[in-house]
Structure 1
């Protein structure tokens, strides 16, 4: 795939994923806002019902208290006027409340009392039951005069709507004139029950705090933890005949946000799950694409290197064969043997390269049979040293052993582990521009033996160190590999050491050489 097309696809897929996440977030926020608006609407509806219920409760309570005194079961005659007086003294407010019931026979029209009623259209005839409630100030009695604060009149024998309208309006006027304390008009338990019941009817079942305020001042009717905030909901209560009131019931929901989120929790959870799946799948796909591109590039490099490595020995073999066929050479036994030796060496070289590839393939398929026996690691290192000693000396370098470990017995395969050490030595030689200088150290740490192979070659960067044991990986210098190879040696080394329950790592710095550290378990 073309690099530009690949980058374009990655960018488009990334933008699409970001767009999907943005759209989901938008719809979740919109749903949350809708739930918030619906919550507000339901709370306000519930509180309006609470306000009406409080008024109804207070009015019914008032009627229940004075009803025994206002009832009269006698039938009035045509001339008599029967009166019933009941007085209540309110010392706290320095007032006296007088209820009286008057039954009289008369035909007349009732004027408007405390609110507008059409007197010409409201006709009450025959027996009229006039009920009145008057409030007097007690201090005025001491001065020899009686000061009436208010008077409320009610009339029976009229239509139910008119009667209820008159009575309720009269009651509101009485309460307004009387200035009854709020804590005597309603109890905290009653407020809590009304609010809880109406909220549940609106589908809101969460904890709440409430308080009644009088002109922005808190009253005794409140919960201990109430705090008035911008998210609190208020409704006027105890409305007068002009639908005005100084009292407001405020309700606050400390867990409102959690409640709102819980209403769309299933949507949030599913969105998170699906988005996570998409992100994981997308990331995995991108990773696989990048890996495939890298593998493709590595395989291309591998084929190029392998072709180059095979091209040289094949060319050498062809030249040797052509030389042998020369009549002047074929009779020269010494030169024929020399060319045959070259053909054999080049053939061995190609065979070794093929074996490297096959060993890695078999290791990956777990088809490589590795039999192990008790061996001395020091003996293996010394044997591996003999394989590359001539190469080191030819480049005027050195390989020194510092084998200080007291114990070096391990369970290993001699052939494969010798190849491991030889591969590391070979890398140290190939990646040293100057004369190779290699030092080998060993030491015992607990039940393990530590083998360190250090060189003073080119070294490698941190990025290369992370990938140096990967199959086919080789460090690039521009577009050309400075050192011939297939990137299989260290991959083979790691697989063999892993199979021996060991561990290999590398410490290196660019331009200052590398140190390969092998840790293997000892056997007693």
Structure 2
């Protein structure tokens, strides 16, 4: 519960940090945008003012004369005969006059700014003027092109001529506005991004460590419970057998005494082995396992090992099918440790397998490697258990559900021994289809690892 609360609190703090960073960035962007609009708005107005202060512009004067002619033509034309409204014609003619745009591009470029902008002319009012009346033709239910909301006003202009009055504005819209603003904000953005990445990384690492510690704690607790059970069983058996030896009836029966003595001896040996395994936990690491490799007549050694395992199992002995194909008769292996590997795999097959238990052992040498496979007909292993199978103290859900005795060390030992030989071990399993362990160990003349 405490760890969940801490994880939830950390996640909430991370979300708050992200929200704060977002607010800071958006507010900074808004401020920079206002500064940009103020700076460049003043710049384009200055440029437009300089353009207007230039000497008399004959080109624009000819445009105004053309508009006068158009105004006269409109006043003497039937509205239905016009393909375009007066407002559309006036906007089109004025928009074709681009001297202000060219001047502003040159002026802004000289100010040291990349002049990437679009030029917009927006008509605000248009009147046609006759001797007897003044007729408004825009706005009058007609929609002419409008400048974008983000465009900056360069200047407003009004022209009162003989046959028309017009008011319009010239606008400049910088297409690279966001790029220029973000370029000014790059340091803030980089620092915020690095902060978020750092905090998120710390959060993930802390979360992973907490989950790992929690799982390790659960595994150790499970290990202690199983260890207690494993130790109590032989102790209880020894206690009962010792008490029975005090029974006069049993004392008078040499066969019963011998049977109970043998039972005490076996349980004592089992207890001693359990204690040794517990004490040896810290030395069972790949770089600490001390191997004593020797030349083994592998086929004969394997058959003797299987025979011994079957005798030890007694009535519960499984059926073991051998498939041995060896090119080389001898291989350099640590006899004791490799016996532990196979015995552990056989024992797991018996513990978790179906009844009757069937095991297939394949031993081959090819590609300069020794290949050993152990396959059982058990219920298989769930996918979520496979990735933890060789971890110290780990016992899968199947073992817990079926209350199978064990310390969660067998497969951990197997992996350490195989890797100490320079090999590797993998597992294939699907629920309901059994399990196969594959071991590859380099031969004498083979590579360092397989």
| The two structures share one fold, judged by TM-score above 0.5 | yes
CA pair 513-500 structure 1, distance change in 2 beyond 3 A: same
Q: TM-score, normalised by structure 2?
A: 0.75
Asked if 1:235 corresponds to 2:143, the answer is no
**Which sections of structure 2, spanning at least 5 residues, go unmatched?**
66-93, 125-146, 446-450
Task: Select between 258-267 and 185-194 the one with higher mean Cα deviation.
Answer: 185-194
Task: Select between 41-50 and 184-193 the one with higher mean Cα deviation.
Answer: 184-193
Match of 1:463 among 377, 384, 393: 384
Q: Is the 8 A contact 1:384 1:418 kept in 2?
A: yes
Asked if 1:206 corresponds to 2:109, the answer is no
Match of 1:451 among 372, 397, 401: 372
CA pair 47-340 structure 1, distance change in 2 beyond 3 A: same
Distance 1:270 1:353 in 2: 57
Match of 1:27 in 2: 24
Distance 1:193 1:415 in 2: 89
Asked if 1:191 corresponds to 2:110, the answer is no
Match of 2:327 in 1: 406
Distance 1:261 1:7 in 2: 40
Task: Select between 289-298 and 417-426 the one with higher mean Cα deviation.
Answer: 289-298
1:124-163 matches, cutoff 5 A:
none
Q: Secondary structure at the match of 2:14?
A: helix
Q: Is the 8 A contact 1:450 1:519 kept in 2?
A: yes
CA pair 523-252 structure 1, distance change in 2 beyond 3 A: farther
Match of 1:48 among 45, 63, 77: 45
Match of 2:361 in 1: 440
Structure with larger RCO (C-alpha < 8 A, sep 6+): 2
Match of 1:362 in 2: 283
Match of 1:495 in 2: 416
Distance 1:428 1:502 in 2: 22
1:386-407 Cα distance to aligned partner (Å, 9 max, x none): 3311255622631111112434
Match of 2:12 in 1: 15
Structure 1 residue 341 displacement after superposition: 2.4
Task: Select between 362-371 and 488-497 the one with higher mean Cα deviation.
Answer: 362-371
The structure that is helix-richer by fraction is 2
Match of 1:100 in 2: none
Q: Is the 8 A contact 1:233 1:252 kept in 2?
A: yes
Q: Secondary structure at the match of 2:372?
A: strand
Q: Is the 8 A contact 2:320 2:360 kept in 1?
A: yes
Distance 1:358 1:316 in 2: 23
1:276-315 matches, cutoff 5 A:
276-315=197-236
Structure 1 residue 378 displacement after superposition: 3.8
Q: Is the 8 A contact 1:374 1:409 kept in 2?
A: yes
Structure 1 residue 504 displacement after superposition: 1.0
**Which sections of structure 1, spanning at least 5 residues, go unmatched?**
63-91, 96-180, 217-227
CA pair 245-19 structure 1, distance change in 2 beyond 3 A: same
CA pair 234-351 structure 1, distance change in 2 beyond 3 A: same
CA pair 260-23 structure 1, distance change in 2 beyond 3 A: same
Q: Secondary structure at the match of 1:460?
A: coil
Structure 1 residue 416 displacement after superposition: 0.9
Aligned length: 394
Distance 1:478 1:328 in 2: 41
Q: TM-score, normalised by structure 1?
A: 0.66
Aligned-pair Cα RMSD in Å: 3.7
Structure 1 residue 247 displacement after superposition: 7.0
CA pair 397-372 structure 1, distance change in 2 beyond 3 A: closer
Q: Is the 8 A contact 2:159 2:167 kept in 1?
A: no
Q: Secondary structure at the match of 1:57?
A: coil
Q: Is the 8 A contact 1:436 1:456 kept in 2?
A: yes
Q: Secondary structure at the match of 2:53?
A: helix
CA pair 186-326 structure 1, distance change in 2 beyond 3 A: closer
Distance 1:391 1:40 in 2: 89
Structure 1 residue 271 displacement after superposition: 1.4
Asked if 1:58 corresponds to 2:43, the answer is no
Match of 2:35 among 25, 35, 38: 38
Structure 1 residue 380 displacement after superposition: 4.7
Distance 1:183 1:29 in 2: 39
1:412-468 Cα distance to aligned partner (Å, 9 max, x none): 322111211111011111112412100112344533232211110122111111211
CA pair 344-184 structure 1, distance change in 2 beyond 3 A: closer
CA pair 520-368 structure 1, distance change in 2 beyond 3 A: closer
Match of 1:420 among 326, 341, 354: 341
1:370-393 Cα distance to aligned partner (Å, 9 max, x none): 233444554553343133112556
Structure 1 residue 275 displacement after superposition: 1.3
Q: Is the 8 A contact 1:383 1:418 kept in 2?
A: no
Q: Is the 8 A contact 2:390 2:412 kept in 1?
A: yes
Task: Select between 495-504 and 330-339 the one with higher mean Cα deviation.
Answer: 330-339
